[in-house]
Homo-oligomer: A and B are copies of this chain.
Amino acid sequence: MTGDHAVENQFLMRVCRLAPLEAADQTALKRLIRKSITVEARGVVCRVGEPVEFFPAVLEGWAARCQLLSNGQRQITGLLLPGDFAYSSRHATPFASEEIVALSACRIAFISRRDLHELMVERPGIANAMQVYAAVEYAIANVWLVSLGRRNAIARLAHLLCELQHRMLQVEKQEPNSFSLPLTQSDLADALGLTPVHVNRKLQRLRQDNLITLKSQSIEILDLPFLKASASFDPGYLDHAPVVGRQPALN
């Protein structure tokens, strides 16, 4: 139940990187994490319709937000990398509208929404940081919308890989072009709006074009500039999202 220091900091790091927090804010935020659990791969973290008194933050592993359709299909609407979280303030419904599932084995912290809410009222810095996080989440959703609507399978895949590479850089200190990708091809398919078979074929194409190496949950991007270009990937939406209160001279 008690996570080690480094790991809890994934959540903190994620928030801090978006909006620098003063020390007091950081400790206050860190104190929010009281308990964490382990979930095996494909385990359900939050079920649709359940009340969300606590919201999940991913400390280790990868998870996803997803919608289930009546015919059994699912669409992943967002990937949660270490440090990411869901159902925080902006997603304001008291009942879960999306399912949260672990894609790999995960350590998940559950944070009281009430505690966070109180903290946001007391500490504008934290409120601001959460708003920035929400803005980035929103930006990512929009970019996915564009991908699903207007890019073909190979470009979608390339774009997602570029996004994940960039997001992993923000989280882990590691080789820039090589990271662990704990997703099955089926998971990728559900994120990209494709079938697993088609994802498989397009991955093979990326490999045979010498753009990536992918084996056993680990990907290496061999030609990142080319991959980015071919997907017209622009990382702007992942980084900066300055918030209202911090604008220079508004009006």
Contacts and interface: CB of A to CB of B under 8 A. Distances in A.
A131 interface: yes
A139 B141 CA distance: 11
Interface in A137-164: 138-139, 141-146, 148-150
A178 interface: no
A238 to B, nearest CB: 12
B146 A145 contact: no
Contact of A67 (B90, B94, B146): B146
Contacts of A243: 92
A95 to B, nearest CB: 9
How many copies of this chain? Answer: 2
Interface residues of A, number: 50
A150 B193 contact: yes
B113 A244 contact: yes
A15 interface: no
A146 B98 CA distance: 11
Given A150-B69, A193-B150, A232-B69, A94 B145 contact: no
A10 to B, nearest CB: 23
Given A90-B131, A92-B131, 19 more contacts: A69-B150, A75-B150, A90-B90, A90-B134, A91-B138, A92-B241, A92-B243, A92-B244, A93-B242, A94-B247, A97-B139, A97-B142, A97-B237, A112-B251, A113-B250, A141-B142, A145-B148, A148-B193, A149-B192
